[in-house]
Every structure is written in C-alpha cells, then in structure tokens.
Chain A
Amino acid sequence: MDMGLDLNAPHSMGTTIIGVTYNGGVVLGADSRTSTGMYVANRASDKITQLTDNVYMCRSGSAADSQIVSDYVRYFLHQHTIQLGQPATVKVAANLARLLSYSNKDMLQTGLIIGGWDKYEGGKIYGIPLGGTLLEQPFTIGGSGSSYLYGFFDQAWKEGMTKDEAEQLVIKAVSLAIARDGASGGVVRTVIINSEGVTRNFYPGDTLPIWHEELEPRNSLLDILSTSSPEPMST
C-alpha cells in the first residue's frame, strides 16, 4: 500500500482558512500547502483569491473545484459591477458563490470563505461549507486544519477587536493549525480589507511563534557543536 507518491491523486488543499471581522473591516488568513496525496505539490500557494477590488475568497478542499468556482464568481461579479456602476457588495459575491456551490453540490468538493468591505454593510464574512449553505458570521474557520481551531477560537475570539489584534489572532490560529494538521503548512498569508483598501501580508515560518515540542530552527548541528564544548553528542 504505497501511501507516498500518487501523482494522479486529485490536488487537494488540505488547508486551514480563516475569516475574521474587526471594527472597520475583515482579515482573511490561510496556509499555503497544496497536496497531491502525500506529496506537497505547491508549498507556497495563494489560497486567498481576489474576486473584486474589495472582496476576496479563501479556498479549501479540491484545488480544481475552488479555482473554477472563484473564476466563475470573478467573471460574473465583473459583469455585475459594470452593470451596477459601482463596486459589488460582499453579500452579492457570497450569494453568487453559494449559487454555484449549491447547484453543483453533488460534484463540487470545496469549502469557501468570502470576506470583504463595502460601503453599505462595512466588513462582512460569509462561510460557504460543503453543500452550499450560506452563513454570515462574525468569524469563521474552514479546511482540514480548522478541526484544531474550534476550541482555540471559542476561547480567543472577542467582539470589537482592532485591526492588529484581528490579524495577530489569525496568524496565531493558522500557525497552530499548521503545527498539527499534516495537510496544512508552508507560510501564513493574510489579507486585510477595509474602507482604505486591501493589504496583503506574508509570514514565513521564522516569523511565527514556536509551539509545544517545536524547536528554534538552526542552520546546522555544527553551530550547536561549536558553541557548546563538553559532551554535546550523547549516546
């Protein structure tokens, strides 16, 4: 039973994705691992996809399915924006994604988080899990890594956070999920959306906290050996 290199296995984004509202906007976060069976096909993927200037979508599940859904939603939203004459609302983007997810529920395997800012409702987060349910929430988590975060968010989530508090929470959470979920890994990406615009951030491993049973990364054993003398190597 070769659990290793099945290169024909569907590309799945094991994933950890998070969307959080704060007083003034939203913060979206995700890991960057795309796996094909046990092989990591892409270790630096970007799972936070732009739909419009002010609305972004976190993708999880099947990479192919989520990419095609996001492409269709972007296409429809673009036309909608032209017809409307002003930026599309987050609600419309979310409902379009729901329509595609629900109507194709037997074929698609993708969980989505839509987040953005519009002038009518401010920052909003919508979760669209498997099946095509649409739920507006103050925050939501998704992907395989999210299993490890339910307890964390129950304890750590607070209403009315600042932008920095919200981003720190998201980074901490994705980082914790990466520590335990084999299907999540790589870097932590965040996207902050508010009335002023969109900010993309990138947090590689060395900027993240060290968790239980993890060690500070080193260049080499040789560094350790050279710094300490007596009996550094033991049997």
Chain B
Amino acid sequence: MNSIDSTPAKNSLLSSEIGSERTLYPYVTGTSVIGIKYKDGILMAADMGGSYGSTLRYKSVERLKSIGKHSLLGASGEISDFQEILRYLDELILYDNMWDDGNSLGPKEVHNYLTRVMYNRRNKFNPLWNSLVLGGVKNGQKYLGTVSMIGVHFEDNHVATGFGNHLARPILRDEWHENLSFEDAVKLLEKCMRVLLYRDRSAINKLQIAKITEEEVTISQPYSLKTFWGFSAFQNPTKGAEGSW
C-alpha cells in the first residue's frame, strides 16, 4: 500500500556509515491537518499536540502559521523540521518584500517552493519529516494544496495529512460542496476533528481553526470540542458476554 506519509521505519538501506545528516526518525511530532475550500477562501484545522513517541508531551504547539499576505501553512510530522521550514519561508517572503514592487508571492508559488524543497531533500536521503497543507487566496482565486515528505504534491478542494486522510477525507468526500458558508465549513471541520479525537491516539482535545480570505488571515484561539459517550451501546457492552470487549 502506497501511503503518502512514510512511517518512520529504520531502513538500513537508507542510512550511511558516516555521521551524515539525515533524519532517521522523527522525535516530536504533530498529527493530522485538515484543509477545505469554502465560499470566501480556505479553512484549516489542526490540534495543538506535539507527541514524543507515545507520550502526549506538548499541548500548545501551533501547527498553523500564516505565510506572507496570501497563504496559510499547516504541518504534521517533526516539529523541528516544521520550524526550519518556517525559517526558509521567512527568508523567501523577506526577499519577496525587498523587491518592493507591489507584487507578492501567492499560495501557488509558495506551494511550488515547498514542493521543490521537500523533493530535493528527499533526493538527498535527508527528508524534512513533514506533511504540509498550504492554502490561500489571491486575486479571488482560492488555492489549496499539499506536499508530503517525499515530495508528492497536489491540489484539491479538501486535503488532509496523516490519519486525516483515512478518517476525515471520506467525510469530506461525502459532505463537502462548492460554496460552503463559513459556519457550515467550520461545523464540517469540527465533525472531522471530533472523529480524529475519538480514533487517533496522538490527537489531543485542543485545536485551532485558521481562516484565510482575500482580505485577512485569522487563526482562532485554542479551544476544545465536546465529545459524546452517552450511547446505550457504550453503557454495558459486555453484558451477556462476560469477558468479551
């Protein structure tokens, strides 16, 4: 099965003898990011967890960041590599601003830049261990794309990383439609995030939703979702079959 997000397998074929710099496996990781297009632009959601193996170690990691005037970047995977990507993008935007020519890099350009960075690192057997979601609006054109740690990149109306691909995208395939209102889009994202909270062990109940439109970028304050456990089937599931689960 070809998965976009590679699991951190210790592959002896890929590691070299000398202390060359290559990310063998990630340490502090973020889980799924979801992005969808809606009427006025793009909405993205991600929780604020930074896992250290199976420990839910950090609970206030911001995994959604605005890039320049027109883009929003969400990342899953190794947080230190995400921080490094933000530094690269900082420099990219700085140089773009220094031209002072009234033109600014749009989401399509930033996505392309990231794709090149990720793919070139992959070719050197030293990947940035992230899956990225890049969304934005420029001149009325909405853009939503994704890049994986091996350089696989594409655009779509809804994208997700990690577990989000398996749990959120089926929901989005069913319920996403063109011209979602802001409220409906938020509810849809929250529906997806709730499922991830139930079913992804590395998810935590503290998330942010970011919005980007032609006019502005906003990243919400952190908040938690209500969860639902009051189903009769949950009450006494092993009744009549003691010892089962």
Q: Which residues of A contact B (CB under 8 A)?
A: 102-107, 129-135, 137, 147, 150
Contacts and interface: CB of A to CB of B under 8 A. Distances in A.
7 nearest interchain CB pairs? A131-B27, A133-B80, A132-B80, A133-B79, A130-B27, A131-B80, A133-B28
A76 to B, nearest CB: 18
A133 B83 contact: yes
B91 interface: no
Nearest to A128: B80
Contacts of A131: 26-28, 78-80
A130 B52 CA distance: 9
Interface string B48-87: 0010100101101100000000000000001110011000
A131 B60 CA distance: 18
Interface string B8-28: 000000000001111110111
Interface residues of B, number: 21
A106 B19 contact: yes
A189 to B, nearest CB: 24
A115 to B, nearest CB: 17
A102 B24 contact: no
B52 A129 contact: yes
A129 B58 CA distance: 11
Question: Chain B CB within 10 Å — which of A105, A107, A137 has the most?
Answer: A105
A40 B83 CA distance: 37
Contacts of A132: 80
Given A106-B19, A132-B80, A133-B80, 10 more contacts: A102-B83, A103-B21, A106-B20, A106-B23, A129-B27, A129-B57, A134-B83, A135-B79, A137-B58, A137-B60
